[in-house]
Structure 1
Amino acid sequence: MVFTQFGEIIQLMSFRKEKMRGQAHIVFKEVSSASNALRALQGFPFYGKPMRIQYAREDSDVISRAKGTFVEKRQKSTKIAKKPYEKPAKNGKSAAEPTQKEPQETDGPGLPNNILFCSNIPEGTEPEQIQTIFSQFPGLREVRWMPNTKDFAFIEYESEDLSEPARQALDNFRITPTQQITVKFASK
């Protein structure tokens, strides 16, 4: 196997579901082995396509069990929870409807556009690293840094359709073994 040259592999997972086809999760015993494999094999042609490799967003079950931090994950329910029937109030509105407008959530990815906002960039990260990470996705125009700060950047793609896959894949991406970057759509 291509990855065994970089270190001991604890677990290898590949999937048959249509959504996951062409993807594999490889768990190395050492983080350094994973880092070496990522650097050496990024873009390496595999069955005629370049590999896109990234760190997992969270520890695998095997690793978290070994660390003693494993928490059982809840299975997704296949049935949608049904709400009990609610009697309409006298004013014609449902009793469950709030009378005041609820505040909108601001933690979401933002309104889709072609510019991404990347934050939580660790100190000491070189601009070339961010450029390399985002250039894995087609349509990258430029990476803009604000003067006198290196903890966030604006990443511009040619279109909204090209920025969305990068945002989805790189939001909460582990840029170091202990730090994750945050990627949202930039406010316009």
Structure 2
Amino acid sequence: MKTPKMRGQAFIIFKEIQSASNAVRALQGFPLFDKPMRVQYAKRDSEEIKALMGAQAEKVKKPQRKLDGLTEGEPKAKQKSKGSTALANMAMIQGTGEMPPNHILFVMNLPEETTEQMLQMLFAQFPGYKEVRLVPGRNDIAFIEYEDDEQANAAREAMQGFKITPVAPMKITFAKK
């Protein structure tokens, strides 16, 4: 990827999550060419990872989203009248009716072998991390607490869809207040 947008970026693949987590912690802020490194997990699996998992690496076109439910043929006056529902519709677009921001994250779709230590290693790398709470009797969900909403949102955006195992991407929303 040699585009101006990708300049100065690198993607590194690790065989184990533990190794990747250690590298993120060790290299975060490390000075390289007089600038601190910013290290984070990739948002999606690379083509190589998909190929290793045996899945066909096809590029799927993303459906176009309509903002405010408008179509191209509607007059501008009608478009402006719909502005009052813009915030509600934006919430629907961003996460299919997700909860308002909260300092506690609700993590779903976790594999059964997930432990508190695994989640702590993944989420403690983000500023403001407080604690992980697993739900007794439910291995597939957890709560992650941060000091404030912005810090929780940063962690949510970075870890959304992260796969602890090759088959189950995490689904992260804000917890109910």
Q: Settle same-fold status: TM greater than 0.5.
A: yes
Q: Does the CA contact (< 8 Å) of 1:120 and 1:152 recur in 2?
A: yes
Query: What are structure 1's unaligned runs of at least 5 residues?
Result: 1-12, 98-102
1:150 paired with 2:150, answer no
2:153 aligned to which of 138, 143, 164 = 164
The one-letter amino acid paired with 1:69 is Q
Q: Does the CA contact (< 8 Å) of 1:44 and 1:50 recur in 2?
A: no
TM-score by length of 1: 0.63
Say how many residue pairs are matched: 157
Q: Which residue of 2 aligns with 1:4?
A: none
Which structure would you say has the larger Rg? 1
Q: Which residue of 1 aligns with 2:24?
A: 42
Percent of residue pairs bearing the same amino acid type:
32
What's the offset of the Cα at 1:179?
Answer: 1.9
Q: Which residue of 2 aligns with 1:176?
A: 165
TM-score by length of 2: 0.66
Give the distance between the partners of 2:74 and 2:148, measured in 1 at CA: 44
- Structure with higher helix content: 2
Alignment of 1:19-34 (within 5 A): 23-26=9-12, 28=13, 32=15
The one-letter amino acid paired with 1:143 is V
Q: Does the CA contact (< 8 Å) of 1:15 and 1:24 recur in 2?
A: no
Larger RCO of the pair (alpha carbons < 8 Å, separation 6+): 2
Q: Which residue of 2 aligns with 1:10?
A: none
What's the offset of the Cα at 1:41?
Answer: 1.9
Q: Which moves more between the two structures, 41-50 or 137-146? A: 41-50
Query: What are structure 2's unaligned runs of at least 5 residues?
Result: 83-88
What's the offset of the Cα at 1:42?
Answer: 2.8
Q: Which residue of 1 aligns with 2:86?
A: none
Quickly say closer, same or farther: Cα 1:85–1:122, change in 2 above 3 A. Answer: closer
Q: Does the CA contact (< 8 Å) of 2:103 and 2:145 recur in 1?
A: yes
